[in-house]
Structure 1
Amino acid sequence: MIKLFMIGCDGAMGRTITEYVKTQDDIIISAGFSPVKGYSCEYPVYNNFDDVDPNIFDVAVDFTHFSLFDSIAGFAQRCKKPIIIATTGLSEENVATLKKLSRDFSVFHTKNMSYGVNLMLDLIARASSNISGYDIEIIEKHHNKKVDAPSGTALMIANTIKNNINRPVEFLFGRYGKDTKRKEQEITIHAIRGGTIPGDHTVIFAGPDEIIEISHSALSKKVFAAGAIKAARFIIDKRNGFYDMNSIINS
């Protein structure tokens, strides 16, 4: 039985994973962390990482906020247990820190826990490397509680295109004004916030007389919970190293 430590158990994803794990036979949540004092649920909840005994869990999953990164990195370094970092909005410096930590224990990091999103990225990479003369736009939609924009997934999509397309690329975030004629090298990213949209991403390749669209829509947060548990099962017996969803897809 895999014992999971849920970092951010009070958040929307933490609560979703808590419910999802109840449907699984090989994994339990042994404890969790919440920055909200007084928060409680069916397992022990800690408000201070220093109080957590590493022996109570096998793998940790983080769905919190990037402002807590330093505390979580320090906790991971002390425990030296496999950890899954699914928090969005991390800086390049934060990711570099995770890669450094992965020398001592296994670290899994992705900006989107959906298996389908990562398959979509593979399709986008192939399309980008085989296309020319097409204008490219990215549209992402999320619920009205999401704090970062554009989404981490939209940035993953943009960088996937940049790394595979055979032309210079310049990112533009939104479009406004009276003199905004498109430049050939532009990839424009549009962020929409509203309602309870779990996550929707579309890439538009607009060419002469035709349009190609590659889209992914998350219908509920359960898809991200399923991805997190898939990652936990994957990383639990892996050697020290830095892993992502492609590691699962290619395994």
Structure 2
Amino acid sequence: MKLIIVGTGRMGQLIRQKAEDAGHEVLAMGDVLSPGDVPALSAKADAIIDFSHPDNLDWILSLSGSAALVEGTTGFDPSHTERLRAASVTRPVFYASNYSLGVAVLQKLASDAAKMLRGFDIEIVEAHHSRKADAPSGTALSLLDAVDPESSFDRVYGRHGRPGPRTREIGIHAIRGGTVAGDHDVIFFGPDEVVRLSHHAGSREIFVNGALKAAEFLQKQQPGLYTMDELLEETAA
């Protein structure tokens, strides 16, 4: 594949390294502030992989060509996801808050557990490195949607002071420190028992590997919006 990488930080550099190791050609790297050769070469790309900042999205969608888009930026609001949906009418778009296959399985397990453990109290805890900008993580929010798809529970982001007895709520907690690539726990508290579903990311390479798999997957797809669900289905086939 011929790739454009948006984002020149640690993730962007790692994506470039792994892509070239796998035999792909990286045409250019850049972002809206330092575009480099991206605008000139975008029409030649098979895929654009973006792990940068939400402010780059409109610039990416304005680039010439119809390259598939793998979107891995976190911190999107509903307007960003709606723009991705609109873009998917004319090109294949893959969007995930986390590109780990293990996290995708965790989301499915958490969804099933929430249906089978009705009446259990649910808490979500995530931990990331000290430089992560957003909290809670996009993955934690995806897990929240997996266990509460109808938003029927109050969502409590951390607790302090005297919050009083628990009501119909789900707690979401963010921890920051060190070089943690990403840990996520979904915990179900029942009478005299606790069920804990966990995922530990040993390094950022798992996200890079997933993003490259997504880019390869999109080469076979028609325009549309794709997620880790479709990639898991292909992996399991």
Residues 105-128 of structure 1 deviation map (CA, whole Å, 9 limit, x = unaligned)? 111111111111001101011111
1:47 to 30, 36, 53: 36
Q: Does 1:115 align with 2:101?
A: yes
Q: Answer yes or no: is the 8 Å Cα contact 1:150–1:189 preserved in 2.
A: yes
Cα pair 1:112 1:224 within 8 Å, conserved: yes
Structure 2 residue 27 is the aligned partner of structure 1 residue 30: yes
Task: Calculate the TM-score normalised by the size of structure 1.
Answer: 0.88
Equivalent residue of 2:149, what SS? helix
CA contact (8 A) 1:35 1:47 kept: no
Name the SS of the counterpart of 1:139 in structure 2. strand
**Percent identity between the aligned chains?**
35
TM-fit CA distance, 1:35: 5.0
SS at match of 1:73: helix
For 2:166, give the aligned amino acid: R
Equivalent residue, structure 1, for 2:4: 5
TM-score by length of 2: 0.93
Deviation at 1:16, TM superposition (A): 1.2
Q: 1:24/1:120 Cα in 2 relative to 1: closer, same or farther (>3 Å)? A: same
**Residue 89 (structure 1) aligned to one of 70, 75, 99:** 75
Q: CA 1:225 to 1:58, structure 2 compared with 1: closer, same or farther past 3 Å?
A: same
What SS class does the counterpart of residue 250 from structure 1 fall into?
A: helix
Is the Cα–Cα contact under 8 Å of residues 186 and 197 in structure 2 kept in the other structure? yes
Change (3 A) 1:74 1:34: closer
Q: Distance in 2 between matches of 1:5 and 1:54?
A: 7
Q: What is residue 180 of structure 1 aligned with on the other side?
A: 164
Give the length in aligned residue pairs.
234
- What residue ranges of structure 2 are gaps of 5+ in the alignment? none
Which residue is equivalent to 2:54? 66
Q: What does 1:1-251 align with in structure 2 at a 5 Å threshold?
A: 2-8=1-7, 10-25=8-23, 27-35=24-32, 37=34, 46-47=35-36, 51-75=39-63, 78-163=64-149, 168-183=152-167, 185-251=168-234
| Distance across 2 between alignment mates of 1:63 and 1:23 | 19
Matched letter for residue 22 of structure 2: Q
- 3-state secondary structure, aligned to 1:87: coil
Q: Cα distance, 1:22 vs. partner? A: 3.2
Checking the alignment, whether the CA contact within 8 Å between 2:28 and 2:36 is kept in structure 1 is: no
User: Are the equivalent residues in 1 in contact too, given 2:156–2:171 (CA < 8 A)?
Assistant: yes
Aligned partner of 1:124: which letter? A
CA 132–242 in structure 1, closer or farther in 2 if over 3 Å, else same: same
Structure 1 residue 74, shift from structure 2 partner: 2.0
Q: How far is 1:80 from its partner? A: 1.8
Distance in 1 of aligned mates of 2:10 and 2:171: 29
SS in 1 for 2:112: helix
Distance 2:37 2:205 in 1: 28
Point out where structure 1 has 5 or more consecutive residues left out of the alignment: 38-45
- Deviation track 1:151-188 (CA, whole Å, cap 9, x = no partner) reads 00000000111127xx93111000011233211x2100
